[in-house]
Amino acid sequence: MLKGIRIPVFALVLATFGSLAAAAQSSAELLARFKAMEDRIKALEAEVQELKGQQAATTAALTAAAPATPTPAPAVALAETATSQTPQALGGAGPAAAKVLNPDIAVIGDFLGAAGNGTSRPTPALEMHESEVAFQAILDPYARADFFLTFGEHGVDLEEGFLTFPALPGHLELRVGKMRAAFGKVNTLHNHVLPWADRPLMTQNLVGGEDGIDDAGLALSRIFAGPKDTFFEGTAQLFHGEVENLFHAYRRSDVSTVDHLRAYRDITESTNLDLGVSYSRGHSVWSPAVIDQLYGVDATVRWKPLRRSIYHSFVGRSEFTWSRLDFPGRTFTPFGYYVSGDYQFARRWFLGGRFDRSERLGNWFTVDGDIFGTPDLSDLSLHQDTGGSLVLTYWPSEFSQIRGQLRRTLYGGSQTANELLFQFQFSIGAHGAHPF
Amino acid sequence: MKISRSFLLLPVLALAASGLSQAAGKINVVTATQDLAALAAEVGGDHISVEAIAKGYQDPHFVEPKPSFLLKLQRADLLAVVGLQLEIGWLPPLVTQSGNSKIQVGAGGYLDISQFCQILEIPTGQVTRAMGDVHPLGNPHYWLDPENGRRIAKAFQNKFSEMRPSDAAYFAQRYADFDQRLAAAEKRWEAAMAPYRGRKVVTYHRSLPNFCERFGLVVVDYIEPRPGIPPTPAHTLEVINTMKRDNIKLILVEPYFDLRTPNSIAQATGGTVAVMLPSVGGVKEVTNYFELFDYDINLLTSAFAKVK
């Protein structure tokens, strides 16, 4: 029995030793091969060095000979050298190459005219309403920078200037600088991408006028997938607290905040729905003791058939904003909204309409960026403005547009303004794409 | 004691398993267009998952940067772009907003395919917008030359191998197979187009220079007076006169352009309009790079036979 076991065990041991011996032999062979390869590499390196030396000597000789006797022989030799070797780029690039590091620069002009009876709130007949200058570039491997300066007839303003860290851990994005707040939809849009020549009454009365909530601060956002691949984006922003017509930082600690949650879903390949809720809070311009809180809901539906996307599209938008101002002993909740639709009926043509309604506190207001009146604590009453617009837009090219807007507004239920706004917008340079 | 050891071992094993599954997982590739996706799939096989942003039947210059694309980009290991500013109007904000450090410009997961290809129509001298929506870095519709298709596939092979060295042999084998099939297909396509070398055509947009150069077609004029500028009556008349003078009978139009102007020109000149696909996915049955050329070359040979 034992004998029977011993034989296979012995055979196994022999086989093991055998394989070990074979392994030792193959290791020795491998070492020898490595050594041979190492010697070969050294020999090749020496050859390369020798060839380089010869080439340098030839070049030096030709350079020395050329000015004295420009005979055909060296030229032939040079031509042969050039054809026999792979073309080699020598030296650096020209001075123009350094300019590739300059930021993308664009200038967008916005010329606005108005006709009709503007009642007591005149929009100038003709004005270079705003010229936006944009500088945009990738800063370094970790961040990009965007600056948007606006030149109006009343001076220069930094509309936005921020640094974006697009890829922080946890898929977070951080933005630092002055920026348009993520309150609703219209507040985030620059003038030149609005589908109208003006901003809705809701923005003028409740959300800081033409500039909207546009302040210095920090913004942290993150995108994430919800059920059935619904897109969500959460944004939290902390600002200095200084927004014209809305917030005022009486002390350093009087910061304002904006929070926004966005949900987006493709309904079909051509149609999608974009919903958002917003909240903002800051110290009111009315008084240090008054906190102004804004609540917003926005909805956008878009239709754009992919096969004919350059010819037809529709965008329906609506935003609702509630403001809550807590005065000592009294609370006011002015409310405003707009509903609009824009249909592209040809490659260059768009037709749109907008209905506006918004309350405001007190008898002061802004129209197309100009402020009329001042906050007066003795006049704490709500006034309602209602308006409607019909808009026709023509694009001569991607870089210019001509727009006419018929606007009828009933201010405070008493003054009616019937106006025709006309606008020319034009863009030069490399303006980066806007977020969707 | 044994139980506690098992408990200690479990998380370690779980971690190791998750690490292994991650290492062996597919490379998540997002491409700007379906053409790049098709070529990535040829080389990546089942070791990658690939999705394209722009559909083959939409104009790749005007893609809406929809938030749903952001979710794809957030998960991507590699983003392959056509480059040469084709996607300048929609892709940069998506990349920035994706929050994905791997695919930011300059990172290892950002691949500009144009750097590997032969680019035509690189403007020389001054470039202005008076020339229309011109691409200052060259024509970005370069994938329509099979030789560039081969270069793109090679670029994917190298990139995938760099990202997943353990699968390098697999990608090399896939590329070799693609190269062999492409060489065979090229002979077939060249033979089919040989009788029509030198034939003059009119195209709507400058989408086909690489295709035309490769197969010997001569583009004499465009329906657009300038790139990106819609047809004007004066230019349409010029095109009609040119076609009549040079006896040109074929107008090639991309599937996303309106056919009214090309059809009226064809009617005035006795020519014909062919809707040629510039991209994979232009019609449902064209699902890969080979089918794209098969479709277009069949279309052209039939159209040429029709107009004589």
Spans in chain A with pLDDT lower than 50: 1-25, 58-87
Contact between residue A139 and residue A163 where contact means Cβ atoms under 8 Å apart: yes
Contacts of B177 (CB under 8 A, 6+ apart): none
Question: Is residue A233 packed enough to be buried (19+ CB in 10 Å), middle (13-18) or exposed (0-12)?
Answer: buried
Residues B39, B179 within the same domain: yes
B98 and A428 in contact by Cβ < 8 A?
no
Report if residue B40 sits inside a domain. Answer: yes
Q: How many Å apart are CA B302 and CA B307, to the nearest integer?
A: 9
A436 and B105 in contact by Cβ < 8 A?
no
Q: Which pLDDT score, from 0 to 100, does residue A363 have?
A: 67
Q: Which pLDDT score, from 0 to 100, does residue A118 have?
A: 74
Place of tokens 């851990």: A169
Q: Return the residue in A189, A220, A309 with the most chain B beta carbons within 10 A, the one to mutate for interface testing.
A: A309
Contacts of A194 (CB under 8 A, 6+ apart): A186
Residues of B in contact with A436 (CB under 8 A): 64-67, 93
Largest CA distance in chain A: 120
What ranges make up the beta strands (E) of chain B?
27-31, 48-52, 78-81, 110-112, 200-203, 218-222, 250-253, 272-275
Residues B226, B286 within the same domain: yes
End-to-end CA distance of chain B: 89
Give the number of domains in chain B. 2
Q: Reduced to 3 states, what is the DSSP secondary structure of residue B1?
A: coil
Among chain B residues, CA nearest to A275? B67
Task: Give the mean pLDDT per block of 10 residues along chain B (308 residues).
Answer: 42 41 76 98 97 95 93 95 93 92 93 95 84 86 96 98 96 98 97 95 94 96 92 95 94 94 95 95 96 97 88
Contact between residue A219 and residue A206 where contact means Cβ atoms under 8 Å apart: no
DSSP symbols for A236-249: EEEE-S-BTTTB--
Residues of B in contact with A307 (CB under 8 A): 57-58, 255-256
Residues B178, B156 within the same domain: yes
Rg (CA), chain A: 35
- Domain span holding position B214: 193-307
Q: The domain A162-424 is classified under which CATH number: 2.60.40.10, 3.60.20.10, 2.40.10.220, 2.40.160.10?
A: 2.40.160.10
Residues of A in contact with B96 (CB under 8 A): 144, 164, 166, 173
Distances (CA, A) of A346 to A108, A193, B222: 24, 19, 20
Residue B281: how many other CB atoms lie within 10 Å: 23
Report if residue B5 sits inside a domain. Answer: no
B133 and A398 in contact by Cβ < 8 A?
yes
Residues B183, B210 within the same domain: no
Q: How many Å apart are CA A345 and CA A172, to the nearest integer?
A: 39
pTM over 0.90: no
Strands A349-361 and A172-180: unpaired
Residues B146, B294 within the same domain: no
Q: Is the dihedral of CA B57, B60, B66, B71 positive or negative?
A: positive
Show me where the domains of chain A are located: 162-424
Residues B37, B174 within the same domain: yes
Q: How many helices (H) and strands (E) does chain A have?
A: 3, 19
Q: How many Å apart are CA B240 and CA A142, to the nearest integer?
A: 53
Rounded percentage of chain A residues whose pLDDT exceeds 90:
56
